[in-house]
């Protein structure tokens, strides 16, 4: 099944990585700041890793289990049914995500942004945001070098607004940081 306009702007908010117990609960890796919000987002679909099979689903409950999370899906009532969903993605329309306050960003919006710093009177380009890491203390930008970078080093730059991250211009796809060239 090829993605249609209706599915083209859907975002993966969780991945089913296993099963829990015999009553149909699934272990999930959640890509949301507030894991509990998974059960309040709708409409929700699950899709196989190649998006060949897409089905509507309702997440009825989410709870912490050990170091991760488990979820209950409506009409998935036993371990056998849950096992069939391993590797599936839980997707929602982009429009169902909460509106952000000024100065807040979704990680996906930062991917590919150019990262630059002021060095004396000139600007230095470090590269582009490849991905972000969640470390517990603060998030970290993983900046990969590009053809116009100052060097060919990958940099890990902490997301510390005001101290390190000075400005984010999503329209210009640029993040300005206060970061030493040798760091």
Architecture of domain 5-96: Beta Barrel (2.40)
d(CA 15, CA 82): 13
> In this model, does residue 6 exceed pLDDT 80?
no
CB 178 within 8 A of CB 163: yes
**Other residues' Cβ atoms within 10 Å of the Cβ of residue 141:** 27
59-65 and 44-47 strand pairing = unpaired
pLDDT band for position 3 (cuts 50, 70, 90): very low
- Element at 175 (helix H, strand E): strand 174-177
Phi first, then psi: give them for residue 35, nearest 5 degrees.
-55, -35
- Dist CA 105 CA 108 (whole Å): 8
| The predicted structure's pLDDT at residue 181 | 81
Q: What is the pLDDT of residue 15?
A: 94
pLDDT-derived band at 183 (thresholds 50, 70, 90) equals low
The domain segmentation of the chain, as residue ranges, is: 5-96, 107-177
What percentage of the chain exceeds 90 in pLDDT?
Answer: 60
Q: Write down the pLDDT at residue 86.
A: 95
**What pLDDT does 50 receive?**
81
**Which CATH topology does 107-177 take?**
SH3 type barrels. (2.30.30)
Write out the H or E segment, with its range, that includes residue 105.
none
Percent share of the chain, pLDDT over 70: 94
Question: What is the arithmetic mean of pLDDT over 13-22?
Answer: 95
Does 5-96 match 107-177 in CATH topology?
no
20-43 in b/e form (b: 16+ CB < 10 A) is beeebbbbbebbbeebeebbebee
Q: Over 80: is that where the pLDDT of 72 sits?
A: yes
Reduced to 3 states, what is the DSSP secondary structure of residue 52? coil
pLDDT digits (tens, 9 = 90+) for 90-147: 999 888 887 888 878 888 889 999 999 976 677 899 999 999 988 878 899 999 999 9
Burial of residue 96 (CB within 10 Å: 0-12, 13-18, 19+) is middle
- At 127 the pLDDT is 96
Q: Decide if pLDDT at 5 tops 80.
A: no
Give the position of tokens 């960003």.
105
């Amino acid at each position: 099944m090829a993605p249609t306009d209706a599915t083209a702007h859907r975002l993966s908010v969780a991945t089913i990585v296993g099963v829990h117990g015999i009553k149909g609960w699934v272990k999930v890796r959640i890509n949301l700041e507030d894991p509990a919000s998974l059960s309040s987002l709708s409409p929700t679909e699950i899709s196989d890793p190649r998006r060949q099979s897409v089905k509507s689903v309702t997440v009825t409950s989410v709870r912490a289990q050990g170091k991760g999370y488990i979820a209950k899906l409506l009409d998935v009532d036993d371990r056998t049914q849950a096992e069939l969903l391993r590797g599936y993605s839980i997707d929602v329309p982009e429009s169902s995500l909460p509106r952000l306050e000024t100065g807040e960003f979704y990680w996906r919006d930062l991917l590919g942004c150019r990262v630059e710093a002021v060095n004396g009177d000139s600007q230095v380009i470090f590269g582009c945001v490849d991905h972000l890491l969640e470390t517990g203390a603060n998030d970290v930008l993983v900046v990969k070098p590009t053809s116009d970078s100052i060097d060919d080093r990958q940099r890990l730059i902490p997301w510390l607004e005001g101290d390190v991250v000075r400005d984010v211009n999503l329209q210009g796809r640029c993040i300005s940081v206060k970061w030493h060239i040798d760091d």
